[in-house]
């Protein structure tokens, strides 16, 4: 097996590992290994192939790290509608007592608190956050 085939086999293994882990960093390293395969195909020596693979892999990883895909989401799970399907739903509050209430929601009693800037009036509210068994609501 020639050198360029070896580089591509290892790159293929990393691409498969990336599919199982879901991280793009292994894919960036596989791109670097592809650069090593191109260097081997062009007839470069072993150390030059390794340096090409390392340089391209590091550059691709650095670019990924600086992109929006390399950063974790900055939203809190308690406010993220993709995590909690109750966010954005409506609830009817019949009366407030010191900024708190108890309401029937999804067949159970829930504690309800006013969110920032919400007014304590009887009526419809929109759920903006779920903290344990408390619904944080805003005016609808």
pTM above 0.75, yes or no: no
DSSP letter for 17, please: H
Sign of CA dihedral 95, 97, 99, 102: negative
pLDDT at position 72 = 66
Q: How far apart are CA 32 and CA 11, in angstroms?
A: 8
By the 8 A CB rule, do 33 and 7 touch?
yes
Q: How far apart are CA 30 and CA 32, in angstroms?
A: 5
Report the share of the chain in percent with pLDDT over 70. Answer: 96
pLDDT at position 73 = 62
* In the chain, domain spans: 3-70, 90-139
Please name the residues in contact with 11: beta carbons below 8 A apart, sequence gap of 6 or more.
Answer: 30, 31, 33, 34, 37
Q: Domain 90-139 class? A: mainly beta
pLDDT at position 38 = 95
Average pLDDT over residues 122-126: 91
Q: Residue 135 above 80 pLDDT? A: yes
């Amino acid at each position: 097996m020639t050198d360029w085939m070896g580089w591509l086999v290892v790159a293929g293994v990393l691409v498969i590992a990336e599919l199982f882990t879901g991280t793009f960093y292994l894919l960036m390293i596989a791109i670097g290994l592809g650069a090593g395969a191109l260097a081997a195909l062009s007839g470069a020596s072993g150390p030059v192939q390794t340096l090409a693979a390392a340089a391209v892999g590091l550059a691709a990883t650095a670019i990924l790290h600086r992109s929006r895909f390399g950063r974790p989401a900055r939203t809190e799970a308690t406010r993220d509608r993709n995590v909690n399907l109750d966010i954005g739903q409506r609830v009817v509050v019949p009366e407030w007592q010191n900024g708190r209430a108890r309401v029937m929601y999804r067949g159970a009693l829930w504690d309800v608190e006013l969110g920032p800037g919400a007014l304590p009036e009887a009526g419809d509210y929109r759920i903006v956050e779920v903290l344990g068994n408390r619904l944080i609501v805003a005016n609808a």
